Amino acid sequence: MMQVTNKYPDARGGGDMEGTGSNGEDMQMVDDARLPLSRIVPIPANQLNLYRIVIILRLIILCFFFQYRVTHPVRDAYGLWLVSVICEIWFALSWLLDQFPKWYPINRETYLDRLALRYDREGEPSQLCPIDIFVSTVDPLKEPPLITANTVLSILAVDYPVDKVSCYVSDDGSAMLTFESLSETAEFARKWVPFCKKHNIEPRAPEFYFQQKIDYLKDKIQPSFVKERRAMKREYEEFKIRINALVAKAQKVPEEGWTMADGTAWPGNNPRDHPGMIQVFLGHSGGLDTDGNELPRLVYVSREKRPGFQHHKKAGAMNALIRVSAVLTNGAYLLNVDCDHYFNSSKALREAMCFMMDPALGRKTCYVQFPQRFDGIDLHDRYANRNIVFFDINMKGLDGIQGPMYVGTGCCFNRQALYGYDPVLTEADLEPNIVVKSCCGGRKKKSKSYMDNKNRMMKRTESSAPIFNMDDIEEGIEGYEDERSMLMSQKRLEKRFGQSPIFTASTFMTQGGIPPSTNPASLLKEAIHVISCGYEDKTEWGKDGWIYGSVTEDILTGFKMHARGWISIYCMPPRPCFKGSAPINLSDRLNQVLRWALGSVEILFSRHCPIWYNYGGRLKLLERVAYINTIVYPITSLPLIAYCVLPAICLLTNKFIIPEISNYAGMFFILMFASIFATGILELRWSGVGIEDWWRNEQFWVIGGTSAHLFAVFQGLLKVLAGIDTNFTVTSKANDEDGDFAELYVFKWTSLLIPPTTVLVINLVGMVAGISYAINSGYQSWGPLFGKLFFSIWVILHLYPFLKGLMGKQNRTPTIVIVWSILLASIFSLLWVKIDPFISDTQKAVAMGQCGVNC
């Protein structure tokens, strides 16, 4: 059923490849094996330098700009001017937070061939490290089992030694549907995996493989391929039918709850009150595939849930998986994906190992993050779902500082980093203590040296990775004199890991694997124990592992590791390693953004706030700035809304936020725009991001800012002040099989739509009013009007995708056309009739403005 021997030799020991033959070819191999497994591909210096110069220029211009703005109030519109200047200062600050972490962008390249040469040579047992892969799912109705099945299949078929891959599926919804479809998936994998490996196909998620509209015969020489492909396609369709049947069956819950095939009641009938469940499929003794080869283990896990126990959403699920996997397989590394993020490249694990198993990088790398890429997004990516600017610009920038943020999925972790240990930095960084010695010695320490270092041992468990394995511990305990301090370190371990000796012991096996001679039945029992709901009581789970306290557990988790001095790596090979789905209709997208922003606000008000947290530690300054940026951005919604309403007020009151401009001042305005434009263009140049993606990002910044971010600020405040807990509303992952993007036009009412709609309407009204006013007051008033119209149009252009989303798609007659026509019609009719409904209002406002100055 599961792996019980520790057959993973020390593979991270570094470049000491002994025992190679003495002839020249072998020597060459040894040399090659010593070459680095990855390299930094620098961005061309001329591009980067120009970019940096322009940033500095922009900074200088900005200073002059503000000097002018602050010293030149608008006499008759003091309030408007003050608000606008405050907003502008805030925008400038948030620009600084966003800009400077992009000072050292880099790219990277991996050498998979060298990795193979070093750790995975033909004819020898592979020395690659074992990896546990986590898949999280919660609601099979929103996260269709077929999608999860595809993710699981792509994992089982990954290009990595099968005995070193284990896949854990966490079911937070304790749904029998998830369980049964996983069982079907395990059966189908017996056919699917050998097919993938034989024909070396990509991607190895069947749905997406068969969906590809490419010439699948192109590089295939095997005559049998066509036939086998056809047969496999049929098999997959039958599999799909079985899954769909399960889904159909699950639509209506029987009164007495679900019963399993053997007639017993499904233990998870109440998702809020059920025991922990584990089922191991495939693997060691789980039967072979159709070619007679072993398959990776597949484990279903549904942690125990009881009323009155906090379960901490996804972070809690992930922590439960850390413990289960430590007990059952204990991979040295673990990689987690959301249920909809399948392996788009079967080489993903090897890519990650190019960094993790690198003797120099591996010791200090807490995780290797892959960019999130998506399928099924509408052609123009209306709601900036692909987040290209973030993934291709900001993250590359961070990679050059201390490493990219963790984004929740497609990320390979060093298990020790999740246990809350500090990185093992270079020997010079540390005092000459046992950590370094045992690293370099590579041999088990005798109990004597353990005794010598007992006090350091305690310290070390506080701060750095444990290097001893169980034999050492046992030997040590026998001859232990100072019982009290042993007890304390025992207590310390219990606090950190909880009350499972087996699990705690596994944490000392830094190369992964489980001790030999452990009996599978007792391991399973222990696995159930470590997922019980009370297990984390009186422990530090949530302070280590995945961090609790925010619905964006990802940011917090990565942040804490960086604060401990770990670095992370951004890995973006040409073929995207992971692909997921994204909510493409407006309402779902806004709700997703709301959750993210709320998560940020939660962090802002928590003790982990990057503004205050842990100075004097190992967090690099620019990395901190980037984290500050990701948690304060929701606040920008306040000045943003104000700023978007200002142009309309200007139009309605016939005032302006800028006084009559001199030529000298006008120059600064022009320089400002030019420098903004130039930094943008240069950024797109070094990153390779397209202008459309950039523009979408700008637009969505305004759309999100005027809706979701604003709500997040208030909900966050409510949480802090009134203790109202936040929800993790899962995004639906609809499978868009027809590919007609019907989802894009789905309209669901949510109050998130109100503020941007209001901003839009006000601006439209303002434009009508402004134009009609100008018409009435003759031609000298057209000049100032254009300034105001410009700002209004700026707002409307940014909100345009939102307007489109609001309109939906009714019978293919875009309602937006109707709206525009009504608008234009009213402008022209005003022009024709020359009436001015706002004239009295404006006069009133003028009077008030003057009063404001004089009094």
Give the catalytic positions in this structure: 172, 554
821 marked among binding-site residues: no
CB 547, min distance to ligand UPG, A: 12
List phi, psi (to 5°) of 566.
-70, 155
CA within 13 Å, CB half, 703: 28
544 marked among binding-site residues: no
Residue 137 or 369: the one with the smaller Cβ distance to ligand UPG is 137
Q: Which residue in the set 172, 180, 375, 693 belongs to the binding site for ligand UPG (CB under 6 A)?
A: 172
Interface with ligand UPG, residue 595, by CB under 6 A: yes
Interface with ligand UPG, residue 589, by CB under 6 A: no
Beta-ladder partners of 259:
265
Interface with ligand UPG, residue 304, by CB under 6 A: no
CB 583, min distance to ligand UPG, A: 7
One-letter amino acid of 487: L
**Strand ranges in 339-488 using DSSP code E only, listed in sequence order:** 342-343, 365-369, 373-374, 411-414
Residue 564 or 589: the one with the smaller Cβ distance to ligand UPG is 589
One-letter amino acid of 693: D
Q: Which residue in the set 12, 69, 313, 347 belongs to the binding site for ligand UPG (CB under 6 A)?
A: 313
Element (H, E) at 624: helix 621-632
Q: Widest CA span of the chain, in angstroms? A: 102
Interface with ligand UPG, residue 712, by CB under 6 A: no
Interface with ligand UPG, residue 175, by CB under 6 A: no
Residue 76 or 338: the one with the smaller Cβ distance to ligand UPG is 338
396 marked among binding-site residues: no
Contact region with ligand UPG (CB under 6 A), list: 182-190, 232-240, 549-557, 690-698 = 549-557
Q: Which residue in the set 551, 650, 753, 768 belongs to the binding site for ligand UPG (CB under 6 A)?
A: 551
User: Cα–Cα distance between 60 and 81 in angstroms, integer?
Assistant: 22
Interface with ligand UPG, residue 596, by CB under 6 A: yes
Residue 319 or 675: the one with the smaller Cβ distance to ligand UPG is 319
List phi, psi (to 5°) of 257.
85, 180
Interface with ligand UPG, residue 268, by CB under 6 A: no
Interface with ligand UPG, residue 587, by CB under 6 A: no
Residue 170 or 504: the one with the smaller Cβ distance to ligand UPG is 170
Q: Which residue in the set 599, 766, 805, 849 belongs to the binding site for ligand UPG (CB under 6 A)?
A: 599
CA within 13 Å, CB half, 832: 6
Q: Which residue in the set 552, 557, 585, 706 belongs to the binding site for ligand UPG (CB under 6 A)?
A: 552
Interface with ligand UPG, residue 730, by CB under 6 A: yes
Residue 387 or 453: the one with the smaller Cβ distance to ligand UPG is 387
Residues 6+ apart with CB under 8 A from 62: 92, 672, 675
User: Cα–Cα distance between 697 and 98 in angstroms, integer?
Assistant: 14
Q: From the centroid of its chain, how far is CA 157?
A: 24
What number of residues does the chain have?
855
142 marked among binding-site residues: yes
Strands 411-414 and 365-369: antiparallel
Query: 682, 47 in Cβ contact below 8 A?
Result: yes
Contact region with ligand UPG (CB under 6 A), list: 286-294, 504-512, 590-598, 691-699 = 590-598
Q: In this structure, how many other beta carbons lie within 10 angstroms of the beta carbon of residue 64?
A: 14
Place of tokens 């950039």: 694
Q: Which residue in the set 728, 741, 745, 800 belongs to the binding site for ligand UPG (CB under 6 A)?
A: 728
User: Cα–Cα distance between 367 and 561 in angstroms, integer?
Assistant: 9
CB 708, min distance to ligand UPG, A: 12
Contact region with ligand UPG (CB under 6 A), list: 241-249, 300-308, 487-495, 728-736 = 728-736
693 marked among binding-site residues: no
Strands 165-171 and 131-137: parallel
Q: Which residue in the set 151, 344, 592, 679 belongs to the binding site for ligand UPG (CB under 6 A)?
A: 592
Residue 195 or 596: the one with the smaller Cβ distance to ligand UPG is 596
Q: Which two tokens stand for residue 184?
A: 């079907």
CB 553, min distance to ligand UPG, A: 6
Contact region with ligand UPG (CB under 6 A), list: 278-286, 290-298, 550-558, 632-640 = 550-558
User: Cα–Cα distance between 633 and 469 in angstroms, integer?
Assistant: 45
Interface with ligand UPG, residue 637, by CB under 6 A: no
Contact region with ligand UPG (CB under 6 A), list: 78-86, 311-319, 382-390, 462-470 = 311-319
Interface with ligand UPG, residue 305, by CB under 6 A: no
**Nearest residue relative to ligand UPG (C-beta):** 408
Task: Supply the DSSP string of 220-278, one letter for each residue.
Answer: ---THHHHHHHHHHHHHHHHHHHHHHHHHHHTS--TT--B-TTSPBPTTSSTTSB--EE
Query: 114, 37 in Cβ contact below 8 A?
Result: yes
CB 269, min distance to ligand UPG, A: 18
Strands 342-343 and 578-580: antiparallel
User: Cα–Cα distance between 243 and 247 in angstroms, integer?
Assistant: 6
Site string for ligand UPG, 315-354 (x = CB under 6 A): --x--------------------xx---------------
Q: Which residue in the set 433, 490, 731, 781 belongs to the binding site for ligand UPG (CB under 6 A)?
A: 731
Place of tokens 């008000």: 605
List phi, psi (to 5°) of 343.
-75, 110
CB 154, min distance to ligand UPG, A: 15
Q: Which residue in the set 136, 500, 600, 636 belongs to the binding site for ligand UPG (CB under 6 A)?
A: 136
Residue 339 or 366: the one with the smaller Cβ distance to ligand UPG is 339
Site string for ligand UPG, 760-799 (x = CB under 6 A): ----------------------------------------
Using CB under 6 A as the binding rule, the residues of this chain from 229 to 258 that contact ligand UPG are none
CB 149, min distance to ligand UPG, A: 14
Q: From the centroid of its chain, how far is CA 464?
A: 26
338 marked among binding-site residues: yes
List phi, psi (to 5°) of 567.
-110, 160
Residue 170 or 447: the one with the smaller Cβ distance to ligand UPG is 170
Query: 354, 115 in Cβ contact below 8 A?
Result: yes
One-letter amino acid of 342: Y
Contact region with ligand UPG (CB under 6 A), list: 7-15, 45-53, 312-320, 521-529 = 312-320
Residues 6+ apart with CB under 8 A from 762: 645, 648
Place of tokens 């509303």: 729
Q: Which two tokens stand for residue 256?
A: 């007495």
Angle made by CA atoms 74, 761, 808, in degrees to the nearest 5: 145
User: Cα–Cα distance between 364 and 91 in angstroms, integer?
Assistant: 36
Residue 47 burial (10 A CB sphere; 0-12, 13-18, 19+): middle
User: Cα–Cα distance between 618 and 246 in angstroms, integer?
Assistant: 51
Q: Which two tokens stand for residue 408?
A: 């929740």
94 marked among binding-site residues: no
Residue 408 or 512: the one with the smaller Cβ distance to ligand UPG is 408
Q: Order the strands of the 365-369 sheet from edge to edge.
A: 277-282, 297-302, 165-171, 131-137, 333-338, 411-414, 365-369, 567-570
User: Cα–Cα distance between 695 and 692 in angstroms, integer?
Assistant: 5
Residue set of the binding site for Mn(2+): 314, 338
Residue set of the binding site for UDP-alpha-D-glucose: 136, 142-143, 172, 313
Residues near ligand UPG (CB under 6 A): 136-138, 143, 170, 172, 313-314, 317, 338-339, 408-409, 551-552, 554, 592, 595-596, 599, 728, 730-731
Residue set of the binding site: 136, 142-143, 172, 313-314, 338
